[in-house]
């Protein structure tokens, strides 16, 4: 039986705010970000829901933008919903725990 959750760790050299726009775009092509946990400006955790058949494509796309742990391809044709937890560390972070809230 396949595990329901997939855990990936990534590393990005760009600033968090610049990188998140690109990462969001990459993920939105294949799946949906359903939760975000910010841990200062050094790291972030994304919860992604995606069809199993799209996981290999998402991984390959993310790998072109961030350094990410190795992942064995699934080669699946299943449209079963899967959850990926993606933790990303940012090298440009300074450990500032302040979370900027946009003015509305």
pLDDT tens-digit series, residues 30-45: 999 999 998 777 889 9
Is residue 1 scored above 60 in pLDDT?
no
* Helix runs in the chain, H state only: 16-30, 55-63
N residues, the chain: 104
In sequence order, the β-bridge partners of residue 78 are none
Higher pLDDT, 1 or 94: 94
Nearest to 93 by CA among 17, 25, 29: 17
Instruction: Read off the pTM.
Output: 0.84
Mean pLDDT (the chain) is: 88
Nearest to 41 by CA among 103, 104, 88, 102: 88
């Amino acid at each position: 039986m396949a595990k329901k959750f997939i855990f990936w760790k990534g590393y990005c050299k760009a600033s968090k705010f610049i990188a998140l726009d690109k990462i969001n775009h990459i993920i939105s092509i294949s799946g949906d970000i359903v939760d975000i946990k910010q841990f200062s400006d050094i790291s972030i955790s994304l919860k992604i829901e995606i069809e199993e058949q799209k996981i290999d494509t998402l991984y390959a796309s993310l790998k072109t933008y961030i350094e990410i742990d190795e992942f064995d391809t699934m080669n699946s044709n299943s449209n079963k919903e899967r959850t990926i937890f993606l933790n990303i560390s940012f090298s440009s972070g300074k450990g500032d725990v302040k979370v900027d809230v946009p003015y509305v």
